[in-house]
Structures are given as structure tokens and as C-alpha cells.
Amino acid sequence: MKGRMVVLFLVALFVFLPLNGAVTAEDSGRQVDDVDCSGYSFEDLFEYDNAVFMFEILDDWATSDLYANSWVNESRAATVRDNLDSLFDGFPGGNNDWISTDEREAVREIGAKCIADMYTRIGIREGTPHRGSINWNNATFVEEGIGLEEVNLVPDGHPEERSCSQRYAFASADCREVPTTATNNLEISMYVKDGETHNTRFNQLPNSGQSDFTVSMNVTNMPMASMVFTFPFVDGLRLANFSIQDDGIENPSGATIEEIFLPDGSVRISVGISYEIGVETAIRNIFIDMTTQPPESNDVPVWTNEAPADNTLIPILNDGSETVAIKGDIMANWASDDDAWGLDCVFTEEGWSSRMVGSDLQVTPGNSQSGTAECSPVDPYGASSNTSHTYKFGQPADISATAGTYSDSVDISITPNMLTQNLAMTLAPNQGASDGDSTSFNIGSTPSTQTVSLSGIGPGLFHIHATAEAEGMLDWDVIVNLNLEKRNTPPILMVYTVDDDMYATWSADGYSFTLSGNAFDPDGTVVELSATMCDETTTSFTSEGSEWVVSLSIAKCVSMGLTESYDVIISAKDDVGEFTTMDIFVPNPDAEDEAEGETDTTEAEEEAAGLPSVGLFASLISILAAAIILRKDN
């Protein structure tokens, strides 16, 4: 417990100090690069209730992937939260019975560096079976390849959750925290980081698994766990022996060992581990001896009831080249053997042959339309079943089309080869891992042409994915390249009118307006929208499905002296770069009102210019009256 606390304290200290800025690297005398977790194991860093470890040796026999997932439940989860929080004693928000997202991120940040120093507890050594302490060719962690994920340390939606962004100095803007008494279950995972190929390495085995080697693991203090070792495919590789030792003394009940042969021909060893912490005190080591030597007594593969009956048709795509006839996962349960097994088929027709590639049976067709073979299961040491099954290999139907470019659909011709009486088929356009809409039909003895919709796939090259079922035939599942391409269709773009053929809805202050409409790609790809006005382009559209709305400010236009009307170009672009555009004319209603006012004033002035005004008459009358008066006085 003390060792674990020391490691976690280092993790917290060397990450959190730079985050809160309270102490510099010079003050502490340490930096993040100084983290040293050597001498500790995964269990020292994180106590758990149960765990799964998956150790896969890669094809180079020098690197490996170690996946680990551990679970911490209820009261122990609360203890872990409290332990972590106590490590931050003296820091803002630390050791206050609340665990925060900032504290969590501090631990996450340094995790890979700490784990890289730790013991993997795994050793690999070539040669005759080895025993003793596990200090030979130890597998080591690779820091750059370590990915870590913690789940639920700070659970979402906890009833007592609170914000801590303003509560503590230097807290992040989205900081939140929950009480350490929270009993929500925790998980912690380690895996190969995205973009990396491995997270552990070991001294390369010169024999690449082709002869004897021993894998060992120290399982002391592993409370409840399973450890699975997976080895690359090596013909004849098997478990020769194993040993479970407590302080060097055999303890057969200390673990369980199971050998599993996978469909691809590789072998897997599963180890079940149980160790009562606080009760058991022994150093427990497990040794697994692997070999390619035949066993002293080798059993013979035996057919099972799941094997297809005689004269079953094995459908293949017969283009004259070697092809996968039966995948390993399809025939995995056709026979049983203590070791791996494959299918040995001898053909009657000239030119036909087969071989096992991994766990798949691959067939090379001859000149005939179909081939008949007598097949028996055989193990890596040459032991074969005394009984055999007769199977027929061939292509149930020919699939063809006119090569070229199509828009909405393509006609596919299907010609049955009469290897079976009736086929229930489906056809669908295929691009990589995705199929478009499928077409289902039945076909008997006459050719048929089916129209296959291209809905659901994008423009570009596509294949035809065909499946077929028939009585007395294994299911046929094949992808055919017919040199077909889907033509790109430009996006469909519409702009809605709001009143009297006007497109814009103006804001109350008159400084901006909104346009709305609909845009979609008939090919099903995402459409990118943009609007250009007065030499400014925006992509800030609000979209819901194919509906869109955009708001445009006239500020730039006004600065350019444009106030009466505005030209807007709306563009929709699909994922292959093809555009559809619309030019929208938007008059300024305020400018129209001003123009109308100016027109009214001008018309009044023009009308007034043709008639004397009342003031003018009054003036003339006054002048005339004055003249009369003057004349009288004279």
C-alpha cells in the first residue's frame, strides 16, 4: 500500500505543480521527466477487484500488444477516489474529500511515463523449458505506444456534482468535482495508442517461435484476473507443458491453464489467476512451455456433426486464379482435434488443387467449370481422419454488366451454371466496407437481369456484392469487380422566398438579414454551404437536416458605399468538390423608403413650379395696394 501511494504521489506532484503555477521546477528540484516508477507493478499503481490482460506477440517476435482492463467496485472505488484526492494535500482543491476533473487530468497526463518504468511481470526465453526467477528477456513497456483511459473516476451526473472552476485558484474553466465517497464503479484501461504499432517489446526470439521457448509471468498479488497469451501462426505450435510455482514449489491449484486454437491457425493460452491478498504471501510464478515438436501420442482429427454432408457445393468465384474457398471461421467446428487442424482435399479433375493458408482453405481452379474433391481433416503433424467427405467446388452463377458510368441504377446479368437447382440471391453496390440498397430475387435455370439501385453509395468506382443461398450449398458471399462507376450528381440548392418574391428577412435594426433554404446531395454525401456578399464569404450556416439558415451583415457593403441593394452568391459543394450556386438579389427596404420620400418631394416641387403660390399672390396684392395708395396721395 505504501509503495502504491508513493507512486501516485509522484504522479500527482510532477504533473500538478506545473498546472497550478504555485511552485516552479527549480523550487521543487524535480521535473516531469524525473518520474521514476521502476520497481512497481500495475497492481501497485491501481488496486482492482478484477482484471483482464491480453498479451499478443506480433509477427516479428520482438514486439507485442498488451491490453489491460481492470474494474474497481463500490466501496473500494470510494477508497481509490479518497486516496487520489489526499495526494494533492497542500494544493488548491486537494485533500478536501472532493475529487475533481483537474486532479484526474493530472494523473492521466503522467500515467504513460510512469507505466513505462514499471515491471510487465512477463518474461520470454528461447530453448528448453526454463524455471526460476523471471529476470530473463523481460518484456518492457514502450512509453510512446501506451494509451490510457480512465472511466468514471469523476462520474457524470452525480447528484452532488458541483463546479469548481471558480472555487479554486488556477482551476480550469470546465472543472467539476464529486465527493470522494461516491461509490460509482471505476475502470482503467491500457492499450496501444492510436497511430502506434505496439506498447511492449522484448528481446527478439531468434527462432521466431519455430522451436522451443518458455513464457513466464509473476502473478503475485493479482487478486482476480485472466491473462491471455496469443502467438502468431506457426505450423505445429502447441503447449508442451506448464508449471505453477509458489516460492519455487509446485502449486497446481494456483491458476488454471487452457490451450485454444484460433480459426486463423494461431494458438492462444488462457491463464486464470486468483490470489488472496493479505492471506497468501508466496511469490507465485507461472511458466508456459511452447514447442513445435509433435506430441508423443498424437490424436487423429475427427469429423463432427457440423461438417457439411457429402456432395455439398462449396461456392467460389472462379476467375481462374487461386481464391479463398472456405474461411477458417466457417469450418472451425467441422472437425475436432487436440491440436490445430486443416482440410486436405484431393481433386478428381485435372488442374484443380487446394492448400491451407492459415486457417483458410484456398483453391486453384482447373479448366473445368467445377471440381470434385475428397477432403479429410489433418493436423499439423500429419495425422488424418480415416474418413473423408466428397465436396464439389464451383461458381453457382456468372455475374456480369456493361462496364461504364451510371447515375441512379445499373443492370446486372445473372446466368446460372446449373450446379444447383435454385438460388435465392441478393445484389448490392459496394464501396469498401459499405453496401448500398440491396435487390433480392430467385433464379432458376434461365438467365435474369436485375436492376440494382445505386442509392446509398457515393460517386466513384463500386463493386457488386452478391450473396446466394441454396439447398445443398454453403452460403455464397462474394464481391465482384465489374469495372463500374457511379456518376457524381451536383448538390440540389434552393433558397426560399418570404414575401412578394423577396428572399431576405431583415433584422429590426436594418443592419443584417437572413436567408433560408434547402440543400442536399442526391449521392448522399455531406454538403458544405457558403455565402459571399461584398467580397466577404461566410460558412456560418445553421442547419437541421437539409434545411439551412444564414445571417448576413451589410456592414462591409456600407463601407464600400453600397446601401441600396446587395448581390449574394449561395454555394453548395459536395464531397468531390462539385458546386451548385445561386445568385440572389436583395434590395434594401430602407433605401426604397428613402427613394420614395425623395420622389414625393420632387414631384411637389415640380407641381409648385407651374402655379403661383399663395404667398406670391399676397405679395403682389400688397405691392399693388401700396402703389394705389401712393397714387392717391399724389
Print burial letters for 153-180: b (CB count within 10 Å at least 16), e (below 16). Answer: bbbeeeeebeebeeebeebeeebbbbbb
Nearest residue to 102 via CA among 90, 93, 111: 93
**Binning pLDDT at 50, 70 and 90, where does residue 182 land?**
very high
* Strand ranges (E), 10-115: 50-57, 63-72, 98-100
Question: When comparing pLDDT for 248 and 47, which is higher?
Answer: 248
DSSP 335-355: EE-SS--EEEEEESSTT-EEE
- The CATH number of 397-486, from 3.40.50.1820, 3.40.1710.10, 3.90.1720.10, 2.60.40.1930, is 2.60.40.1930
Q: Which CATH architecture has domain 302-394?
A: Sandwich (2.60)
Within its chain, how far is the Cα of 137 from the centroid? 34
Q: Where are the domains of the chain?
A: 2-289, 302-394, 397-486, 492-587, 596-633
State pLDDT tens for residues 315-370: 999 999 999 999 998 998 999 988 788 999 999 999 999 999 888 999 999 999 99
pLDDT confidence of residue 295 = 84
CATH topology classification for 492-587: Immunoglobulin-like (2.60.40)
Model confidence at 526: pLDDT above 90: no
CB atoms closer than 10 angstroms to residue 73: 13
* Predicted pLDDT at 40: 76
Which carries the bigger pLDDT value, residue 109 or residue 192? 192
Indicate the pTM of the whole model: 0.59
Look at residue 594 in the predicted model and tell me its pLDDT.
53
Q: Give the count of beta carbons closer than 10 Å to the beta carbon of residue 347.
A: 21
Domains 302-394 and 492-587 share a fold: yes
| Rounded-to-integer distance, Cα 225 and Cα 217, Å | 13
User: Over the stretch 592-618, which tens digit does the pLDDT of each residue have?
Assistant: 555 454 444 444 444 444 444 333 333
Mean pLDDT score of the chain, rounded to an integer? Answer: 85
Q: 278, 316 in Cβ contact below 8 A?
A: no
How far is the C-alpha of 548 from the C-alpha of 554, rounded, in Å? Answer: 20
